[in-house]
Amino acid sequence: MRKSLLVAVALLSVVALVAVLVPEPTAPPQQAAAPGGTSTDARTDNGTGLEIAGRHGALVDQVVFTEEADTGQVVGLIEAGTHHAFAQGITNTTVYQRLRDSPRAAYDVSYGANVELTLNPAGPTFSNGELNPFHVPEIREALNRLVDRDYIAEEIYGGLAVPRILPLSTAFPDYARLAGVARKLELRYAHDPEAAQEVIHREMRALGARLDNGRWHYEGRPVRVIMLIRTDDERRRVGDYVANLLDEVGFAVERRYRTAEEASRIWIAGDPKAGRWHIYTGGWIVAVVQRDEADNFSYFYTPRGRAEPLWQAYDPVPEFDKLAERLQQRDYHSREQRQTMMARALELAMENSVRVWLVDQLNVSARSRDVEVATDLAGGLSGSFLWPYTIRFKDRVGGKIVFGSPGLLTEPWNPVAGSNWLYDQMITRSLQDPALIPDPFTGLYRPQRIEGAEVTVQEDVPVTRTLDWLSVETAAEIEVPEEAWIDWDAQAGHFVTVGEKHPDGITARTCVRIRFEEGYLERRWHDGSQVSQADVVLPWILTFARADENSQLHDVAHLPTFEAFQQHFRGWRIVSSDPLVVDIYTNQIYPDAETIVASWAPAPLPWHVLGLGILAERSGELTFSSYKADRLRADWMSLVAGPSIPVLERHLRRAGERNFVPFPEVLETLMREGEAAERYRALADWHQQRGHFWVGDGPFYLESVHPVSGSVVLRRNEDFPDPADKWLRYTRPEIPELDLAGPMVVESGESAEFSLNITFEGEPYARKAIEKVRFLLFDGSGELARQGNAKVLDNGVWKIALAPEATKALGVGANSLELAVTSRRVALPSFASHVFATVPDDGRRESAP
């Protein structure tokens, strides 16, 4: 399926179109970042033309989210002035064209969204006795050949999508690194409905089903397939298309159309064995650029991925399960070994196919022309970590931004195991202030609340550093200090040290020392209470307590995630409290040192709010996770709305009366005198004013929640410590634009040269900004004949030279030269291709005598 590489070129041409149609940004080009995330640009206004000196936190005063699921209304609402931006990306070509031509609207493009078929693997029969064909891996695998991804991309998405077969995004670096492997698998699973039908027939008969008059029957009843089809976007058409295909191969297809909220109660929160669905038209949006997708196999194919019942029904073959876990832990010793493991995992994922990937989408984030905001190349506006720090009106400071969102409060909000819904998380991200924030163009993490970090890795661990806010050193051996905490004793209520659990000592592959900024523990939560070390430690305690059978907080659904964590975790400790310095020891690595720091940086949460949740779960009234809620027939905990609120109110009164501190043996030693009383007074006042219990420390705070009317109101946190222009240097990503030229006909056995010009907005792309230009040479049968690296001649000018033996090996016929270009300025790879023919060498014919 060559188009997975080739159609990406079409996407880049759309990007070029966007560059013309979107108004030129007024901010300067991206500058190199100094430690702490500040810009080296000397101008105080960062080119906005606004007077923002002395302002801290957000550049607008209020943000209101309203529910608007109909993307067809987007342009009209922007032009009417009632809405300024929309969370949901636009994939409909008609709406895109209206948006493109509107004088009052603008947009940004992202590449992190995808669509797939989520299959229910429970079986072979459900609890109702009905047969589930998709319990059989071979039938799931056959669906890859049954669907025509080119049709979906071109006809349903109107070209605003790229066919996708593999569990790797076609827009991220790993796809470019594994292009040869990807091409081979794309050919293997190309559209072939006859081959798919042959496999389905064979496996259905093996299950004991019979085909009568074109319909499958099992134990005298037609074999029913329930399609759970999302109605919010083009997935309705995708679902109908797939349903038609399944009907043609003999299944009795029942189409159940559902909104996001309605569907989530069935496929993600319900028991897969109940038989309420077989296939769900799934969609995912990656919030940040994924520089390393090794986690995808564990997340999407094993019980370690998530706590929900569907994931607990996954049962990969032992080789795949182990390989996925090793990749999740980065258990390899060289980049070459990683490549081999990733290649094999891709093969096993396709054989497993509990997910059938369909397309990567080109998502268009709509906004008013007088609004600017930093969007993420992967997640767009809804996935951007920087949107709350950068959203602003071009002509003024302050004011109110109105967002439209396809869903609000889709699942309960709690910070332990609450909603994973994209649009819920978009809002909650603005209420928190993380230690590090991902660069929206490269995915590399930059400091937000830390001064720096030192990463020490074993000598055989392949880790690199790109940015200068951290350091990387190697050591022959990394011993974990005996005073480091490594486990939790639920009965005694305290941490277990390395010395207690491992008297002979242990080692780790990595040590990360994170130095937080000065005054980190002097900051205030939104309710006015002061941050303390207890906020840093309690989330770690919950990680262990929720996995401990002796704990009242034990949650079976948390075990797979914890077991994976425990296998690579080797201990942590607080080195200093002023300033806060933390050491973490682990066997897990990532190729980028920046990601290692970000993945292990503590994420403090207000212990008094978590304390109410702990009391409610211990009482059996509420639970942090949906899985435990189903098991106990309790409510899934929400800190912001619904039946959880009166329960939490009752526990707040009781906690305040006795100054309750969870796990007091540890936390009370980390708190200031009188802290518990201060916290509960502050939280009581906060709840009385706003009616909810969500307390954060971000640039916005949650002012009010209105579930009935479908709106959420945020207000600017005036006490936020950062200047308002801290992150404004991010403008448009410098995505390379490619022009590949070369001969159309090459004589077999003769050398051939091809030239590649790489530019951005008409200017040559700096050679130092290009990480790699990789070429793949395919012969007429689609086999990979040769691969290698292009040679740089000058800024923006590269050459690919094929030696005589290379062209001779191609034989006679049509061939394709395909290029993958990776830049250091953006993580999105760019592709180009050139088709040429090899012909016999006429010059070798002898003249007549």
List pLDDT tens digits, range 134-146: 999 999 999 999 9
pLDDT digits (tens, 9 = 90+) for 818-833: 998 989 888 888 889 9
User: Would you state the pLDDT for residue 704?
Assistant: 97
Strands (E), 619-748: 622-623, 635-636, 700-706, 711-716, 737-741, 745-747
Type of residue numbered 832: A
Q: 522-538, pLDDT tens digit by residue?
A: 999 999 999 999 999 99
Q: What is the mean pLDDT of residues 42-59?
A: 67
* Of 277, 308, 558, the residue nearest 421 (C-alpha): 308
CB under 8 Å to 631, separation ≥6 — which residues? 556
Q: What is the pLDDT of residue 15?
A: 28
Beta strands in 423-484 (DSSP E): 436-438, 445-447, 450-458, 470-475, 478-479
- Residue-wise pLDDT for 400-458, tens only, equals 999 999 889 989 999 999 998 889 999 999 999 999 999 999 899 999 999 999 999 99
Per-residue model confidence (pLDDT) at position 48: 60
Reply yes or no on whether the pLDDT at 733 is more than 60. yes
Look up residue 762 and give its two tokens. Answer: 């008409």
pLDDT higher than threshold 60 for residue 22: no
* Model pLDDT, residue 36: 30
Query: 674: which residues sit within 8 A by CB, 6+ positions away?
Result: none
- What is d(CA 765, CA 446) in angstroms, rounded to the nearest whole number? 24
C-alpha span between 621 and 647 (Å, rounded): 8
Instruction: Examine the pLDDT at 14 and tell me if it is beyond 90.
Output: no
The per-residue pLDDT for 584 is: 97
Q: Find the radius of gyration of the CA atoms of the chain.
A: 28
Neighbours of 665 (CB within 10 A): 12
Cα distance between residue 59 and residue 400, in whole Å: 10
pLDDT tens digits along 496-514: 999 999 999 999 999 999 9
Residue that the structure tokens 């976007």 belong to: 233
Q: How far apart are CA 220 and CA 125, in angstroms?
A: 14
pLDDT of residue 176: 84
Determine contact, residues 139/312, Cβ cutoff 8 Å.
no
Residues 6+ apart with CB under 8 A from 222: 215, 216, 252
Joined together, the tokens standing for residue 838 give: 């090899």
Which tokens belong to 438? 């991902």
H helix or E strand, kind and range, residue 259: none
Kindly write down the DSSP assignment for every residue of 278-301, as one continuous string: SEEEEEEE-SS--S--TTHHHHHH
Q: Between vectors from CA 615 to CA 611 and to CA 621, what angle results, nearest 5°?
A: 135
Q: Which domains does the chain have, with CATH numbers?
A: 112-360 (3.10.105.10), 433-697 (no CATH), 737-844 (2.60.40.1930)
Q: Averaged over 389-398, what is the pLDDT?
A: 94
10 confidence band (pLDDT: 50, 70, 90): very low
Rounded CA separation 629/547 (Å) = 16
- The confidence score (pLDDT) of residue 592 equals 93
Nearest alpha-carbon partner for 134 in 192, 203, 60: 203
pLDDT single digits (tens) 558-609? 998 898 888 889 999 999 999 999 999 999 889 999 999 999 999 999 999 9
Q: Are 451 and 36 in contact (CB under 8 A)?
A: yes
Q: How far apart are the C-alpha atoms of 29 and 154, rounded to whole Å?
A: 34
Token pair, residue 15, equals 């990007």
pTM of the predicted model as reported, rounded to 2 decimal places: 0.79
Give dist(CA 297, CA 564) in Å, integer.
13
Q: Which 3 state secondary structure label does DSSP give 129?
A: coil
Three-point CA angle 238, 242, 245, nearest 5°: 145
pLDDT in tens, 89-123: 888 889 999 999 999 999 998 888 899 999 999 99
Residues facing residue 113 across a β-bridge? 285, 361
The pLDDT tens digits of the residues spanning 200-242 come to 999 999 999 999 999 999 999 999 999 999 998 899 999 999 9
Q: Please give the full DSSP string across 721-787, using - where no structure is assigned.
A: -SBTTTTTT-------EEEEE--SEEETTS-EEEEEEEEETTEEPPGGGEEEEEEEEE-TTS-EEEE
Backbone angles phi, psi at 234, to 5 degrees: -65, -10
What is the pLDDT of the chain when averaged over all its residues?
Answer: 90
pLDDT cut 90: percent of the chain above it: 75
129: region left, alpha or beta (phi > 0 left; psi from -120 to 50 alpha): left
Residue whose structure tokens are 């990807």: 182
Instruction: For the chain, give the percent of residues with pLDDT over 70.
Output: 93
